[in-house]
Structure 1
Amino acid sequence: MLKLSGVIITFNEERNIERCLQSLKTIVDEIVVVDSFSTDQTKAICSRYNVTFIEQEFLGYIEQKNFALQQAKYNHVVSLDGDEALSKTLQKSIVNLKTNWIFDGYYANRFNNFCGQWIKHSDWYPNKKLRVFDRRKAEWQGINPHDHVEMRDKTIKTGHLKGDILHRTYQTYSEFNKKTEYFSTIAAKAYLDKGKKAPLWKLIWNPSWAFFKAYFLRLGFLDGYNGYVICKGTAKITYLKYSKLRQLYKKV
């Protein structure tokens, strides 16, 4: 029977990590947690479970997750963030893979909880994620902080699993606003490193299009007030990313 490693990165996830571990503990053969020196109870909570707990200074989202993959004992992995957990249906789907692994990677829909509400529209659902895969054939890529798993060979076929990755994202509006500022700063620096430009038209067009697409085309308005807040936040982070990039170029 195929063996699986559960791989998680954490930093101050005392609110969510137990839910994550509970969803993994009966379906994987080991759990590896790579923690960026949490200052809350994350380490203490993990110590109650049979996990390999590794403390590693934060390398960047993509780099940290690829580091975590290399710590796994087995090549077939389930990769999660500390604020994610597997639904019961997804747990069953992954267990079935242990005797019927066909593809080299498997997608699942991510279902996001925002301020206590499960968000069913905009860009947030179905939020398809490749999280079950053969680590020899895939890795984390993207532009920080927007990471994603990508198969190294574009011709490799992937499957899709039933069930959801349950993502307990921002639970207060202030948390959402703080992370918008934080992530836009990281993105601007990453864009600068890659030589991306920030012409004035992108400062106007990209945020406007981001809001229109999420709120109207992808039906974000059906999620009520929180749907509006999310779509507005999508536009805001897009604006801040390019605004901060323009400021960085003035300093170089």
Structure 2
Amino acid sequence: MTSAVKISGVIITYNEEKNIGRCLDSLKGICDEILIVDSYSTDRTKEIALGHDVRFVENAWKGFLDQKNFAQGLASFDYVLQLDADEALSEELRKSIKSVKNNWSHDGYIFNRFTNYCGKWIKHSGWYPDAKLRLYDRRKGNWKGLDPHPSVFMDEETKTQHIKGDLLHYSYTSYEDHINRSAKYAKQAAIAMHALGKKPSNFKLVMSPAFRFLNSFILRGGFIDGFEGLIICRTASYYTFLKYMYLKLIYKGKSIE
């Protein structure tokens, strides 16, 4: 049995006054340090955060991928638990992480994310179980992938384990917010794709949105989530369409701002 490790809780923020308090409360008794990297919020995020025992750092925004890796690098401890401000640990997950902390045996730990959408917990639509690797040894993993949805990737020959409990995700509070953010994220994704040299495809522009809807609404049971499931799956299709549309506009030299 290994001795207990020290864990740095890491959160990136921007205008998260509605969420940050709940997130920080869920980390109490779990993390030996809580680090917040904020991209110069204009609301009460900093004030609320400093009311807790946190280390608060401000850093200009260059995208999710850069900010998450920057934050990871500033942590005091090598064992990192990285959350978004609109996430919180369930009580069962807190217990699992406490157990892991006292007997760290793998390089990273995976747990499911359970999303609250406009007041309803979504159990299908491709949103659950939404396995996330967020507790890991930063010496053996970092954030990779495309903005706005990068993920933690571990080095080869590392060991990971799935632990019990849900990461509670308080996502969108209105349908309008979901649609507007999807359009924003689609632009970010298109810019990232273009930077990697990906070229637009008329086939993907037409077919990918349709496939995305059928996959999430039919194959992944979005219809079981009722009206909310329909909105989620239609918006996912809309996001996919916009992503390839924006990529095509960038490729043609047109501004998408």
TM range (shorter): over 0.9
Q: Aligned partners of 1:4, 1:247: CA distance in 2, in Å?
A: 44
Q: Which residue in 2 is equivalent to 1:222? A: 224
Q: What is the SS of the residue equivalent to 1:20?
A: helix
**Which one of the candidate residues 197, 202, 205 is aligned to 1:203?**
205
Q: Aligned partners of 1:123, 1:33: CA distance in 2, in Å?
A: 30
Deviations 1:181-206 (A, max 9, x none): 10000011111111112211101111
Q: What are structure 2's unaligned runs of at least 5 residues?
A: none
Q: Aligned partners of 2:131, 2:53: CA distance in 1, in Å?
A: 29
Q: Which residue in 1 is equivalent to 2:87? A: 84
Q: Percent identity of the aligned residues?
A: 49
Q: Aligned partners of 1:69, 1:156: CA distance in 2, in Å?
A: 18
Q: State the TM-score, normalizing by the size of structure 1.
A: 0.98
1:178 shift after superposition: 1.0
Aligned length: 251
Q: What are structure 1's unaligned runs of at least 5 residues?
A: none
**Which one of the candidate residues 68, 71, 84 is aligned to 2:71?**
68
**Which one of the candidate residues 18, 22, 26 is aligned to 1:23?**
26
Q: What is the SS of the residue equivalent to 1:136?
A: helix
Taking the TM superposition and a 5 Å limit, the aligned residue runs for 1:73-152 are 73-152=76-155
CA RMSD of aligned residues (A): 0.9
Deviations 1:182-241 (A, max 9, x none): 000001111111111221110111111111010000001100000000000110000000
Q: State the TM-score, normalizing by the size of structure 2.
A: 0.96
1:43 shift after superposition: 0.5
Q: Which residue in 1 is equivalent to 2:242? A: 240
* 1:55 has 2:58 as partner: yes
Residue identity in the other structure for 1:123: G
Runs of 4+ in 1 over 4 A off after TM superposition: none
Q: Aligned partners of 1:156, 1:26: CA distance in 2, in Å?
A: 27
Residue identity in the other structure for 1:107: I
Q: What is the SS of the residue equivalent to 2:16?
A: coil
1:152 shift after superposition: 2.1
Indicate conservation of the 8 Å contact 1:25/1:31, yes or no: no
Residue identity in the other structure for 1:182: K
